[in-house]
Structure 1
C-alpha cells in the first residue's frame, strides 16, 4: 500500500515518522508470514479483528483491501454475521453498515 492510499491519520504518521511506519510495515509482513494462512484467510481474519475492535476506520481499510484483492462481498458480510453471536447484535449490525459503506 502506498502512502497515498493510507487513511489520513496513518498517512500523516507515515509522512512525519517514516522510520516508524517502515518498522510497522515490516512487523505486518513478518506476522503475515508467521503461519500457514493464505492471503484471503488473513484478510478475513484482519477484517474480523477490526470488527471485534469496533474500529470503523479499520473495517473500511480492510474492506477496501479485500475488495481490491477480489474477496467477494458476501464473504465479507458473513464476517459481520459471525460477529453477532460472539460480540452482539448491535456490534455486528454496526460492522455490516460500515461494510456496506464500501459495497453499496
Structure 2
C-alpha cells in the first residue's frame, strides 16, 4: 500500500496500491451514481496514464480536437491531473509523473 486517506469533504476513503509497474486507486463513496460514464460512478471508473509533461499532452489532445477538463492538483500527492473522454464517452485520466531531481 502506498497510502490510505479519508476525504471528509466527500465522506469517502481513497487507497493507493503499488502494483509493480502500475498503481491502483480504490475509492469508497457513500452513494455513487450507477452510471459508468462519470469518474465517481460505481465499478471500474476509468483508466489513468502517467505522463511526463501534462501541459504538452493536453495541448496535443486539444490539437486533435479532444477537450480536457481543467487541470487539477491531487491534494495528497501534489501531482497534477486531468480527465478527458474516450470515443465512447468514458473518462480517461492523465496524471503527471513526478520526476525526482537529484541534488
Task: Identify the TM-score tier after normalising by the shorter chain.
Answer: under 0.3
What is the TM-score of this pair, normalised by structure 2? Answer: 0.26
What is the TM-score of this pair, normalised by structure 1? Answer: 0.26
Select the structure that is richer in helix: 1
